[in-house]
């Protein structure tokens, strides 16, 4: 169950980045190394910290691999920008059951942002989940890093494009069609 919640949290980032939104509304991060801390509201789980080395292509790829919150299952998405925030409202159907999410993003995708997400749906624990993601741009990727690298807090490194090459059917099933 914990892994499922972590997947949902990761998916919520993609949800908020609105992969199906028009190009003018996409929320692309500055290329380089990002540190992202995810905290699940009302959970005893410690915050999850990852570092992500991205370029424009791998940021777009990560936005398209949304798991349960992909554009394919969340076709109704509304992105509104104001002077100090971006609001994303999504209506989804996950495993045939209705779900929705509301995200408020403040800050800048060039240096640091905070995203607060509230999701509701029958498949979530208690029917509702809240989480906060804080992203901070650390600078260029290190010499031993490639775009698409995700470095876990324990030092384990995976590369999303490499995973896609090794297991295309699994990754493709998560991407919107």
pLDDT in tens, 39-75: 999 888 899 999 999 999 888 777 665 444 556 667 7
Q: Whose CA is closest to 121, among 93, 143, 102, 147?
A: 93
35 pLDDT above the threshold of 90: yes
Whether residue 16 is predicted with pLDDT greater than 80 in this model: the reply is no
Q: What number is the average pLDDT over the span 94-104? A: 87
Helix, strand, coil fractions of the chain, as percent rounded to 5: 25, 40, 30
pLDDT class of 122 with cuts at 50, 70, 90: confident
In the chain, which ranges are continuous DSSP H helix? Answer: 2-17, 56-64, 160-166, 168-174
DSSP 3-state assignment of 84?
A: coil
Kindly report the pTM of this predicted structure: 0.77
Highest mean pLDDT among 1-10, 77-86, 122-131, 135-144: 135-144
């Amino acid at each position: 169950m914990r892994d499922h919640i972590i997947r949902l949290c990761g998916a919520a980032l993609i949800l908020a980045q609105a992969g199906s939104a028009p190009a003018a509304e996409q929320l692309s991060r500055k290329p380089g190394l990002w540190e992202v801390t995810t905290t699940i509201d009302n959970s005893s789980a410690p915050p999850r910290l990852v570092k992500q080395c991205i370029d424009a292509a791998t940021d777009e790829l990560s936005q398209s691999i949304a798991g349960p919150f992909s554009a394919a299952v969340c076709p109704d998405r509304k992105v509104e920008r104001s002077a100090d925030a971006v609001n994303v409202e999504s209506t989804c159907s996950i495993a045939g059951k209705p779900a929705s999410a509301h995200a408020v993003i403040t800050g800048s995708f060039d240096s640091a942002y905070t995203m607060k997400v509230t999701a509701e749906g029958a498949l979530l624990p208690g029917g509702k989940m809240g989480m906060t993601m804080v992203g901070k741009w650390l600078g260029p990727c290190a010499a031993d890093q490639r775009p698409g690298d995700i470095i876990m807090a324990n030092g384990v490194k995976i590369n999303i494009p490499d995973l896609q090459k090794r297991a295309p059917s699994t990754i493709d099933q998560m991407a919107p069609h």
